[in-house]
Amino acid sequence: MLDSANGPYSQGEFDIAKYSKYIYVVSDFLTISQLAMLFNISTHQIRYFEEKGLLEPPRQSGNAYRQYGEQEIYCLASILLFREMGIPVAEILKISQSNDRAFLESVLQKQRNRITNHIRDQLALRDILDCHLQLAKQKDTTADFIESMPERALRVCISQHWRDKIQVIDYLKLAPLAVTEDVFRLYYDETEKICLSCLPEQAGIILPAGTYNSHIILVDPETTVDTAIEEFMERAISQFPQLSAPLILIEDSARSLLAGDKLLYKMQIKIS
Protein backbone atom coordinates (compact mmCIF):
# COMPACT_ATOMS: atom_id res chain seq x y z
CA MET A 1 0.00 0.00 0.00
CA LEU A 2 1.11 3.53 -0.65
CA ASP A 3 1.19 5.95 2.20
CA SER A 4 0.16 9.59 2.06
CA ALA A 5 3.75 10.73 1.75
CA ASN A 6 4.47 8.74 -1.39
CA GLY A 7 1.27 8.70 -3.36
CA PRO A 8 -2.46 7.91 -3.29
CA TYR A 9 -3.55 6.05 -0.22
CA SER A 10 -5.77 3.00 -0.27
CA GLN A 11 -7.25 0.95 2.54
CA GLY A 12 -6.83 -2.22 0.46
CA GLU A 13 -4.19 -4.78 1.35
CA PHE A 14 -2.02 -6.71 -1.09
CA ASP A 15 -2.93 -10.40 -0.93
CA ILE A 16 -0.19 -12.41 -2.65
CA ALA A 17 -2.13 -15.65 -2.11
CA LYS A 18 -5.05 -14.20 -4.04
CA TYR A 19 -2.65 -13.06 -6.75
CA SER A 20 -1.01 -16.47 -7.16
CA LYS A 21 -4.43 -18.07 -7.52
CA TYR A 22 -5.25 -15.99 -10.60
CA ILE A 23 -1.91 -15.61 -12.34
CA TYR A 24 -2.05 -18.92 -14.19
CA VAL A 25 -5.57 -18.46 -15.56
CA VAL A 26 -4.91 -15.09 -17.20
CA SER A 27 -5.15 -15.71 -20.91
CA ASP A 28 -6.27 -12.27 -22.02
CA PHE A 29 -5.32 -8.76 -21.09
CA LEU A 30 -6.93 -7.17 -18.06
CA THR A 31 -8.39 -3.69 -17.89
CA ILE A 32 -7.14 -1.32 -15.21
CA SER A 33 -10.32 -1.92 -13.20
CA GLN A 34 -9.88 -5.69 -13.38
CA LEU A 35 -6.23 -5.40 -12.37
CA ALA A 36 -7.13 -3.17 -9.43
CA MET A 37 -9.80 -5.63 -8.34
CA LEU A 38 -7.35 -8.53 -8.61
CA PHE A 39 -4.93 -6.90 -6.15
CA ASN A 40 -7.57 -5.14 -4.05
CA ILE A 41 -6.07 -1.71 -4.71
CA SER A 42 -7.35 1.45 -6.37
CA THR A 43 -6.94 2.34 -10.03
CA HIS A 44 -5.33 5.58 -8.79
CA GLN A 45 -2.48 3.55 -7.33
CA ILE A 46 -1.87 1.80 -10.63
CA ARG A 47 -1.83 5.12 -12.49
CA TYR A 48 0.53 6.50 -9.86
CA PHE A 49 2.98 3.64 -10.49
CA GLU A 50 2.75 4.34 -14.21
CA GLU A 51 3.45 8.04 -13.65
CA LYS A 52 6.56 7.14 -11.66
CA GLY A 53 7.83 4.83 -14.39
CA LEU A 54 7.41 1.62 -12.41
CA LEU A 55 4.72 0.11 -14.62
CA GLU A 56 4.50 0.41 -18.40
CA PRO A 57 1.50 -1.53 -19.70
CA PRO A 58 0.92 -2.10 -23.43
CA ARG A 59 -1.84 -0.15 -25.11
CA GLN A 60 -4.65 -1.47 -27.27
CA SER A 61 -4.42 -0.08 -30.78
CA GLY A 62 -7.16 2.31 -31.75
CA ASN A 63 -8.64 3.46 -28.43
CA ALA A 64 -5.46 3.58 -26.26
CA TYR A 65 -7.12 1.75 -23.38
CA ARG A 66 -4.75 0.40 -20.78
CA GLN A 67 -4.31 -3.36 -21.02
CA TYR A 68 -2.29 -5.52 -18.69
CA GLY A 69 -0.90 -8.96 -19.35
CA GLU A 70 1.08 -11.53 -17.39
CA GLN A 71 4.29 -9.48 -17.41
CA GLU A 72 2.52 -6.42 -15.94
CA ILE A 73 0.81 -8.56 -13.29
CA TYR A 74 4.16 -9.91 -12.12
CA CYS A 75 5.64 -6.42 -12.19
CA LEU A 76 2.79 -4.97 -10.13
CA ALA A 77 3.08 -7.84 -7.63
CA SER A 78 6.75 -7.01 -7.13
CA ILE A 79 6.01 -3.31 -6.70
CA LEU A 80 3.34 -3.97 -4.08
CA LEU A 81 5.57 -6.41 -2.23
CA PHE A 82 8.34 -3.81 -2.03
CA ARG A 83 5.82 -1.20 -0.85
CA GLU A 84 4.57 -3.60 1.84
CA MET A 85 8.15 -3.75 3.04
CA GLY A 86 8.11 0.05 3.32
CA ILE A 87 10.56 0.65 0.49
CA PRO A 88 10.08 4.11 -1.12
CA VAL A 89 8.96 4.33 -4.74
CA ALA A 90 12.20 6.04 -5.83
CA GLU A 91 14.25 3.12 -4.50
CA ILE A 92 11.93 0.56 -6.14
CA LEU A 93 12.46 2.37 -9.45
CA LYS A 94 16.23 2.21 -9.03
CA ILE A 95 16.03 -1.50 -8.20
CA SER A 96 13.91 -2.18 -11.28
CA GLN A 97 16.19 -0.21 -13.60
CA SER A 98 19.49 -1.76 -12.56
CA ASN A 99 21.07 -5.04 -11.57
CA ASP A 100 22.89 -3.51 -8.64
CA ARG A 101 22.72 -6.37 -6.15
CA ALA A 102 24.66 -4.42 -3.53
CA PHE A 103 22.06 -1.64 -3.64
CA LEU A 104 19.22 -4.15 -3.35
CA GLU A 105 20.90 -5.80 -0.37
CA SER A 106 21.45 -2.46 1.37
CA VAL A 107 17.80 -1.44 0.83
CA LEU A 108 16.48 -4.74 2.15
CA GLN A 109 18.81 -4.64 5.17
CA LYS A 110 17.75 -1.09 5.98
CA GLN A 111 14.07 -2.06 5.90
CA ARG A 112 14.73 -5.15 7.98
CA ASN A 113 16.42 -2.99 10.63
CA ARG A 114 13.50 -0.56 10.55
CA ILE A 115 10.97 -3.36 11.02
CA THR A 116 13.04 -4.90 13.83
CA ASN A 117 13.16 -1.56 15.64
CA HIS A 118 9.42 -1.10 15.12
CA ILE A 119 8.70 -4.54 16.58
CA ARG A 120 10.91 -3.71 19.58
CA ASP A 121 9.06 -0.43 20.15
CA GLN A 122 5.67 -2.11 19.85
CA LEU A 123 6.66 -4.81 22.34
CA ALA A 124 7.77 -2.10 24.76
CA LEU A 125 4.38 -0.41 24.39
CA ARG A 126 2.65 -3.74 24.99
CA ASP A 127 4.63 -4.14 28.23
CA ILE A 128 3.45 -0.69 29.32
CA LEU A 129 -0.16 -1.63 28.55
CA ASP A 130 0.23 -4.90 30.46
CA CYS A 131 1.49 -3.00 33.48
CA HIS A 132 -1.47 -0.63 33.45
CA LEU A 133 -3.87 -3.53 32.99
CA GLN A 134 -2.30 -5.11 36.04
CA LEU A 135 -2.74 -1.88 37.98
CA ALA A 136 -6.36 -1.60 36.84
CA LYS A 137 -7.08 -5.12 38.09
CA GLN A 138 -5.10 -4.73 41.33
CA LYS A 139 -7.72 -4.04 44.00
CA ASP A 140 -5.57 -5.04 46.96
CA THR A 141 -2.82 -2.40 47.22
CA THR A 142 -0.81 -4.68 49.53
CA ALA A 143 -0.63 -7.48 46.96
CA ASP A 144 2.95 -8.52 46.23
CA PHE A 145 3.82 -10.80 43.35
CA ILE A 146 6.71 -13.05 42.35
CA GLU A 147 8.46 -12.55 39.00
CA SER A 148 11.55 -13.81 37.21
CA MET A 149 13.99 -11.14 36.09
CA PRO A 150 16.98 -11.31 33.72
CA GLU A 151 20.39 -9.96 34.62
CA ARG A 152 20.44 -6.15 34.55
CA ALA A 153 23.47 -3.91 34.09
CA LEU A 154 23.44 -0.50 35.81
CA ARG A 155 25.74 2.48 35.98
CA VAL A 156 25.79 4.50 39.21
CA CYS A 157 24.90 8.16 38.66
CA ILE A 158 24.52 9.33 42.27
CA SER A 159 25.52 7.75 45.59
CA GLN A 160 24.34 9.28 48.88
CA HIS A 161 22.96 8.56 52.35
CA TRP A 162 19.47 7.15 51.98
CA ARG A 163 17.95 9.95 54.08
CA ASP A 164 19.50 12.70 51.95
CA LYS A 165 17.32 14.49 49.46
CA ILE A 166 18.69 14.58 45.96
CA GLN A 167 19.45 18.07 44.71
CA VAL A 168 17.67 19.22 41.56
CA ILE A 169 20.98 20.07 39.86
CA ASP A 170 22.23 16.53 40.52
CA TYR A 171 19.05 14.96 39.18
CA LEU A 172 19.31 17.07 36.05
CA LYS A 173 22.56 15.24 35.32
CA LEU A 174 20.39 12.24 34.55
CA ALA A 175 18.30 14.19 32.03
CA PRO A 176 17.11 13.56 29.40
CA LEU A 177 17.56 9.85 30.13
CA ALA A 178 15.70 10.09 33.42
CA VAL A 179 12.59 11.13 31.50
CA THR A 180 12.61 8.19 29.09
CA GLU A 181 14.42 5.44 30.99
CA ASP A 182 13.75 3.66 34.26
CA VAL A 183 15.57 5.11 37.25
CA PHE A 184 16.86 2.47 39.70
CA ARG A 185 17.31 3.33 43.38
CA LEU A 186 19.28 0.67 45.24
CA TYR A 187 19.39 0.69 49.05
CA TYR A 188 22.40 -0.90 50.77
CA ASP A 189 22.10 -0.41 54.55
CA GLU A 190 22.28 3.41 54.80
CA THR A 191 23.47 4.07 51.24
CA GLU A 192 21.25 4.92 48.28
CA LYS A 193 22.61 4.47 44.76
CA ILE A 194 20.69 6.07 41.89
CA CYS A 195 21.36 4.24 38.63
CA LEU A 196 20.41 3.97 34.97
CA SER A 197 20.57 0.97 32.67
CA CYS A 198 23.70 0.52 30.58
CA LEU A 199 25.68 -2.00 28.58
CA PRO A 200 27.33 -4.77 30.65
CA GLU A 201 30.84 -3.49 29.91
CA GLN A 202 29.85 -0.06 31.30
CA ALA A 203 28.20 -1.40 34.44
CA GLY A 204 29.14 -0.46 37.96
CA ILE A 205 26.47 -2.78 39.37
CA ILE A 206 25.02 -6.01 38.03
CA LEU A 207 21.62 -7.05 39.33
CA PRO A 208 21.65 -10.85 39.08
CA ALA A 209 19.01 -12.84 37.27
CA GLY A 210 16.64 -14.68 39.53
CA THR A 211 13.30 -14.65 41.31
CA TYR A 212 12.17 -11.38 42.85
CA ASN A 213 9.40 -10.41 45.22
CA SER A 214 7.81 -7.31 43.69
CA HIS A 215 5.15 -4.71 44.32
CA ILE A 216 3.84 -1.82 42.18
CA ILE A 217 2.61 1.45 43.65
CA LEU A 218 1.24 4.72 42.28
CA VAL A 219 2.00 7.78 44.41
CA ASP A 220 1.51 11.52 44.20
CA PRO A 221 4.73 13.42 43.36
CA GLU A 222 4.64 15.14 46.76
CA THR A 223 4.08 11.91 48.67
CA THR A 224 7.01 10.03 50.17
CA VAL A 225 7.40 6.35 49.38
CA ASP A 226 9.10 5.63 52.71
CA THR A 227 5.97 4.12 54.27
CA ALA A 228 5.33 1.89 51.27
CA ILE A 229 8.97 0.73 51.34
CA GLU A 230 8.84 -0.09 55.06
CA GLU A 231 5.61 -2.06 54.66
CA PHE A 232 7.00 -3.93 51.65
CA MET A 233 10.19 -4.85 53.51
CA GLU A 234 8.25 -6.01 56.57
CA ARG A 235 6.16 -8.34 54.42
CA ALA A 236 9.21 -9.60 52.51
CA ILE A 237 11.22 -10.32 55.68
CA SER A 238 8.30 -12.15 57.27
CA GLN A 239 7.96 -14.39 54.20
CA PHE A 240 11.65 -14.71 53.35
CA PRO A 241 13.67 -14.36 56.61
CA GLN A 242 17.08 -14.99 54.98
CA LEU A 243 16.98 -11.91 52.73
CA SER A 244 20.35 -10.23 52.14
CA ALA A 245 19.91 -8.57 48.74
CA PRO A 246 19.44 -4.80 48.45
CA LEU A 247 16.01 -3.26 48.08
CA ILE A 248 15.41 -2.02 44.53
CA LEU A 249 13.05 0.88 43.90
CA ILE A 250 12.41 1.45 40.19
CA GLU A 251 10.87 4.69 38.98
CA ASP A 252 9.18 3.59 35.77
CA SER A 253 9.46 6.71 33.63
CA ALA A 254 7.48 5.55 30.59
CA ARG A 255 4.57 4.20 32.60
CA SER A 256 4.61 7.24 34.88
CA LEU A 257 4.02 9.43 31.82
CA LEU A 258 0.76 7.52 31.27
CA ALA A 259 -0.28 7.61 34.91
CA GLY A 260 -1.52 11.19 34.93
CA ASP A 261 -0.42 13.15 37.99
CA LYS A 262 1.07 10.11 39.75
CA LEU A 263 4.45 8.39 39.70
CA LEU A 264 4.70 4.65 39.18
CA TYR A 265 7.24 2.73 41.23
CA LYS A 266 8.11 -0.92 41.39
CA MET A 267 9.76 -2.29 44.52
CA GLN A 268 11.82 -5.46 44.18
CA ILE A 269 14.00 -7.67 46.32
CA LYS A 270 15.72 -10.87 45.20
CA ILE A 271 14.51 -13.97 46.99
CA SER A 272 16.31 -16.69 45.01
* Strand 191-197 to 152-161 pairing: antiparallel
- Mean per-residue pLDDT for 76-96? 91
**E strand or H helix that includes residue 78:** helix 70-84
Q: Which CATH architecture has domain 16-98?
A: Orthogonal Bundle (1.10)
Among the ranges given (30-34, 104-108, 206-210), the one the predictor scored with the smallest mean pLDDT: 30-34
Question: Which CATH number fits the domain 145-270, given the four candidates 1.10.40.30, 3.40.50.720, 3.40.50.150, 3.20.80.10?
Answer: 3.20.80.10
**pLDDT tens sequence across 134-182:** 666 655 555 788 889 999 999 888 888 767 766 544 555 555 454 557 7
| Best CA proximity match to 207, nearest among 232, 225, 182, 224 | 182
Q: Reduced to 3 DSSP states, what percent helix, strand and coil does the chain have, rounded to the nearest 5?
A: 45, 20, 35
Q: Enumerate the domain spans of the chain.
A: 16-98, 145-270
